[in-house]
Structure 1
Amino acid sequence: LYLPALKNGFTNWDDTWYITENDRIDDFSPGGIAFWFTHYFHGQYSPIGNLITMLVYAVQGMNPFGFHLVSVVLHLLNVVLVYVFMQRLTALRTVAMMVALLFAVHPMQTESIAWAAAVKIPLYVCFTLIALVWYLRYIDSGKWKWYGLAFISFILAFGSKEQSVAIVGSLVFIDYYRGRKLFSKRVLLEKIPWVALAVLMGLSSVAATASYGLVTPAKTFGVNEQIILPSFAFITYLWKLIIPAGLTAIYPYPADTAGALPWFWYLCTFLVLAIIVLFVGFWKKNRTLVFSIGFFVVNILLVLQIIPTRNILLADRYVYLSAVGFFFLVSCYLQRAMQQGVVLRRLLIFLFFIWIVMLSFQTVVRNRVWNNPETLWQDVIAKQPDALIAWYDLGGYYSDQKAYEKALNAYEQVLRINPAYLNGLYNAGNTAYHLSDFVQAEAYYKKALLVDPEMKSAALNLYMTLLHLKKYTDAAVLIEKLKRKYPGDFTVQSKGALIPKTFSSDREVFFSDLLYSAEKAFQEKRYIDAIATYTEALALDSTLAALWFNRGNAYFVLSRWENALFDYNQAIRQDVTHSDFYYNRGMALIMLDRREEGCRDLQSALEMGNQRAQKALATNCK
């Protein structure tokens, strides 16, 4: 089922900062390894997960196959662990096999496996399941070594993903299912280390989130809606576990609803209340039902967005472990129903088989969706056409591929959804700039600056756009404003730049800054960069002798005499009054063994008052 995942590449959704653009992925120094244990990374604390990623990189490099292989192997290991956990919990082999089979093939699990950056999920679940198995062995044997092994596994689970804190709730429901007295002294004392570590984990998770900045939905909701939305997410998870239709990577918050949500959202709240009533009412009557509900809830509660911290309402990956509770309930009742008669048993086996086939087919399809950013985001857009992040990241992918027309179309869709989305405006401007549509680029940059007047990069790009549009006065006003605002970046003027006195002040500002960038590169002996900057300026205006002359000087230093001679010829064609032009051309001609022509230029330079020419004549033209 997961063979297609092994052929997938990387996406541009978290795979970038976590793997492909992670500059720490190859740092195996003691300090590099210690970093993961002592620092948060992109608002997360996952030292074990990051070390696994580093090891994969060390073996496979940036080949996506290795990263996907680790995820698939972890999933297969988790299938075995689910079976062991269920069999040890219930001693019902058939139930354990059914739960493990559903866990293995359900398409909602695909996101956690086919997405390279999600490797932390199967990893933390692996350690969590090991901890639960050890804990059951402790209950069965009373030996503290199993308790210790379970606790160590808990620590490793937390080192993989902070969501593992839910294991404490899972232990409570294991105790409940096994008939242990939850408030007995022994049971309570057992939980103290777990609860203490869970509290530390919770504080660490809050600190990690705060270190990177809390991500909240663009739209805020009232108290009533904030109760309804998690209820909708909860029921949606259950529904999609039964019929996995419309699976997608992004489930955005609802758009503006004019103060009212659709009726079925309210219905979800009543369904959640009904589940709570069942949970309480059957506490002493039906351990299977209560354990199933409890295990599902404690493992999904932290990601139900009761307090919004993400710009998505739900995600398939959040049910990777909690689904075990649902699968357990289904499997137990199916087994009981199968014992009611041969006909019913055969019918249920047939229906279960059809369900497994349907789930498996969906899993194969979902694996292929994660092949690359284009397949991923087009799938999201087909199901959630107003998912802003999908259009935005699709635009980013097309930009990286230099498919700028497609990228601009994607960014326009972003702005359709949110006309004031700053990054959308900025990137739309960048894309229009790449398409040489400077009029449109100017409009986007100006809108971006209306949203955020402090966006320096937008202002600088607007400046360059104005230059392309030959709006030199507007460009001069803008660059002077930027110089006042960011004096550290724009205070130095071009020293010694050859700018004709006839230039107006606005154009002087323009060429002065271009020449300064090139001269700085020249002074730092970055001659290729200097040539590139002068070439950019010449593309805008090839009538300026100063630009030809200065680029010629860069070629001269690189001993590219023919290129230097060409540029000096162009400079003299534009301005015959500058002695340095003749002097430098003369030296270039001499280096090309065209001594007679070179000496004539040196003589012309001397007659124009160039003192260096006298020594050069004495040395080269005897």
Structure 2
Amino acid sequence: MKTQVVQPEIAYAHTPDLVTWIHLGYVLVFTFFAYSPALSASFLNWDDVPYVVDNPVIRQWSFFNIKRIFTEYTFGNYHPLTILSLSVDYALGKLNPQVYHCSNILLHLGNTALVFFLVRKLNPSSLIALICAILFGLHPIHVESVTWIAERKDVLYTFFYFWALLCYAQYTREQKTSLYIYTLLLFLFSILSKAMAVSLPLILLAIDYLLKRKMFSRTVLMEKIPFFLMALCFGIVAIWAQKASQSIVENDPWNFAERIVLASYAFVQYLMKLLCPLELSAIYPYPEKSGQWIPLIYVTYVLATLLLVGLVLYSIRFSRAYLFGLLFFTASICMVLQLLPVGRFIMADRYAYIPSLGVFWIVAVSFQKIVTGFSSYRTLIVGVGFVYLALLAVGTYRQSTLWKEDLSLWNNAVQQYPAFAEAYNLRAHARIKHNDTVGAYADFEKCIVLDSANKAGYYGSRAGIKASVKDYIGALKDYSQAILFADSTKVYASSLYINRGSVYAQLKNFPAAFADFTRAEHFPVVDSDFFLNRGILFLEAGKYAEALTDLNQAIDQDPHAKDAYYHRAEVYYLQEKVHLALRDCNQAIKIDAAFAKAYNLRGLLEVKIEQFQKALSTFSLAIEADPLLAEAYYNRAYLNQSLGLTETVCGDMRQAYKLGYRSEAAYMQQICPN
């Protein structure tokens, strides 16, 4: 793409000198230490489990899984490169959270370095570049993006995003076609990591403005067409993904005028937290409505936004730098100001990850002007700057410590928003993870009091927890309460009947269970999970033909339903259709390479066809996938005993007994008396 070179307003910096490189090294070292608590952090109960712990597609590099990554949505998002990066971490460290946290921190360090080089391309001052880099590296608002494993998408898409901007800044100087192509490819990689990258074409225009390119020339406009087309396509995909996961709010309680007010509130709050990062939280609730209208105090945020924009526009008379910073911030954050309502919260710290650079640019330019204009107070001004940076570093360290485990995270949320039911809901699930059922139930009670409109959801969640600890009577009571409060027009009510029916099945009350599934079937959406759960119910009731019909239907609706393949294999096993059962076991394992129960069942099937050595290996694979699967230890012990390989038999039997396997207790005692 050979075009006339348009000289920018700002002279480009030469290669940084040794002192500048040393300063950048210090920035990266300080940033690493500020985030070091994350290296000992655990997986959180907030998205880390579905993204990593229970995500079968990251567990094995295969064409099958890679195809799924690039052709399916993941939890309401399309970000295949993010999932691929998690696959790399799984290959390196399985489920060791330290590996994932280390990758996030390394990406953040890379992003911090890219900030330095990008700013150097846009402004010749090493001081401005260093200030932007250290603010980006050390700011506490970035902790959510860096220390939350599920937010890998933030640090990854930013890496490609900043790199693309760096190539583009160089392209504006040299006009090399290769640099333009690199920019376009890096934009593609960024947008395949997170859809928020669709803002990049707007930032390219902001750079054109800063560098005084002829923005409305044919050449400059034609350059942007591929970027805007790509942004449009992937923006539509992102909306489809959000709709598919029902993340886009329906029946929005706020009208469009109120949405403008809320967007102004979020806009100003992001700015305030970037300048003074106090009271950071993992969640930020919407304001409570005062009657039919938003509280009037929030209207002042519209005025504050207009005043800020006016001041920046006034500054154009003296410099383009401030408007560039505002354009950078606004263009990259406008997508998440909840004008299109997505999710349950009005703000999120992670949304400020890239936009923060626009604010840091303004701070850095202002700091340099102050130091230059008040040279007699330079020592004092620089001293205040270092104190501010030290406070940021301490804040990041403390915030990283807060994100080490979910209970401390949600305790902080409850402390900051004691009237917000969702904070208690999230803490309740964290308490269950820590075996604090009493505390979890208390939190659910608080949810029910604070948020009467969503009683059905809270009763349903509590019922699920009771069922998981085998308190089936308590679970039935809570599911019945949930059904009482549920909106019968919502699909969610269907899942309540399904779950209650599954609890009845655990109590062997099959008539009541089938009655609940019949009620659930009357709802407009009957999905794969419905047929899976009813198929399991038929299986437990000994109705194998009906079970096969439903499990076949579940697989037809979701070809990746590993549990449907597994339970159909169980039916075939009971019907002595060994080869069909083996086929389904293998398919379940293909979908999830760590599916312990499927390995265990395959081992039993291999015993049936007298492939004993293969069965021993398969039982070992089951134990490797789930060291707590008691039945696999017993099956391996029994087979070894039958083959006369008695060396490890008692060890396996004792482990099976320790893990709760009692079905063959008399035989186990006979073989291993002690």
Give the TM-score normalised by the residue count of structure 2: 0.69
Residue 421 (structure 1) aligned with residue 455 (structure 2): yes
Aligned with 1:382 (options 408, 415, 430): 415
Aligned twin of 1:209: 242
Residue 52 (structure 1) aligned with residue 85 (structure 2): yes
- Map 1:171-190 to 2 at 5 A: 171-190=204-223
The one-letter amino acid of 1:459's match is R
Aligned twin of 2:497: 456
**Deviation for aligned residue 1:59:** 0.7
Residue 323 (structure 1) aligned with residue 364 (structure 2): no
Unaligned runs of 5+ in 2: 1-33, 522-533, 544-569, 582-599, 602-637, 639-665
Aligned with 2:55 (options 22, 26, 38): 22
Aligned with 1:64 (options 79, 97, 100): 97
Contact 1:36 1:50 in 2 (8 A): yes
Post-superposition CA distance 1:424-457 (Å, at most 9, x none): 1023234456788777655422221121553223
Any idea what SS the aligned residue of 2:57 has?
coil
Post-superposition CA distance 1:253-287 (Å, at most 9, x none): 12343234444311111111223333444446430
Aligned twin of 1:255: 288
Aligned twin of 2:260: 227
Unaligned runs of 5+ in 1: 469-474, 497-518, 530-557, 559-587, 593-622
**Deviation for aligned residue 1:173:** 0.6
Shifted more, 312-321 versus 484-493: the winner is 484-493
Contact 2:108 2:155 in 1 (8 A): yes
The one-letter amino acid of 2:480's match is K
Residue 105 (structure 1) aligned with residue 138 (structure 2): yes
Aligned with 1:121 (options 130, 154, 157): 154
Aligned twin of 1:444: 478
Residue 74 (structure 1) aligned with residue 107 (structure 2): yes
Aligned twin of 2:406: 373
Contact 1:217 1:310 in 2 (8 A): no
Aligned with 2:275 (options 235, 238, 242): 242
Distance, in Å, in 2 between the alignment partners of 1:36 and 1:521 is 30
**Deviation for aligned residue 1:152:** 1.1
**Deviation for aligned residue 1:458:** 4.2
**Deviation for aligned residue 1:77:** 0.8
**Deviation for aligned residue 1:142:** 1.8
**Deviation for aligned residue 1:422:** 2.6
- Map 1:549-588 to 2 at 5 A: none
Any idea what SS the aligned residue of 1:314 has?
coil
- Map 1:453-602 to 2 at 5 A: 454=494, 455-460=496-501, 463=504, 478-479=512-513, 481-482=515-516, 485=519
The one-letter amino acid of 1:37's match is F
Any idea what SS the aligned residue of 1:91 has?
coil
Aligned twin of 1:11: 44
Any idea what SS the aligned residue of 2:171 has?
helix
**Deviation for aligned residue 1:219:** 6.4
Distance, in Å, in 2 between the alignment partners of 1:181 and 1:45 is 35
The one-letter amino acid of 1:422's match is A
Aligned with 2:367 (options 312, 316, 334): 334
Shifted more, 32-41 versus 264-273: the winner is 32-41
Between the two proteins, what is the percent identity of the paired residues? 27
Give the TM-score normalised by the residue count of structure 1: 0.75
Distance, in Å, in 1 between the alignment partners of 2:236 and 2:514 is 48
**Deviation for aligned residue 1:368:** 0.8
Post-superposition CA distance 1:316-352 (Å, at most 9, x none): 1111111111011011111111112333222211111
Instruction: Output the aligned Cα RMSD.
Output: 3.1
Aligned twin of 1:617: none
Distance, in Å, in 2 between the alignment partners of 1:200 and 1:521 is 45
Distance, in Å, in 1 between the alignment partners of 2:434 and 2:572 is 29
Aligned with 2:188 (options 140, 155, 172): 155
Any idea what SS the aligned residue of 2:178 has?
helix
- Map 1:389-404 to 2 at 5 A: 389-404=422-437
Post-superposition CA distance 1:374-415 (Å, at most 9, x none): 111111111122333332232223223432112211211221
Aligned twin of 2:441: 408
| Distance change in 2, residues 1:91/1:481 (3 Å) | same
Distance, in Å, in 2 between the alignment partners of 1:25 and 1:35 is 10
- Map 1:266-305 to 2 at 5 A: 266-283=299-316, 285-305=318-338
**Deviation for aligned residue 1:53:** 0.6
Aligned with 1:356 (options 389, 402, 410): 389
| Distance change in 2, residues 1:435/1:413 (3 Å) | farther
| Distance change in 2, residues 1:405/1:57 (3 Å) | same
Distance, in Å, in 2 between the alignment partners of 1:347 and 1:263 is 41
Contact 1:445 1:462 in 2 (8 A): no
Post-superposition CA distance 1:103-135 (Å, at most 9, x none): 111100111101011111111111111111111
Any idea what SS the aligned residue of 1:459 has?
helix
The one-letter amino acid of 1:448's match is A
| Distance change in 2, residues 1:276/1:53 (3 Å) | same
| Distance change in 2, residues 1:486/1:493 (3 Å) | farther
Contact 2:505 2:513 in 1 (8 A): no
Distance, in Å, in 2 between the alignment partners of 1:347 and 1:492 is 77
**Deviation for aligned residue 1:65:** 0.3
Aligned with 1:198 (options 231, 245, 249): 231
**Deviation for aligned residue 1:32:** 1.4
Contact 2:41 2:97 in 1 (8 A): yes
Distance, in Å, in 2 between the alignment partners of 1:73 and 1:365 is 19
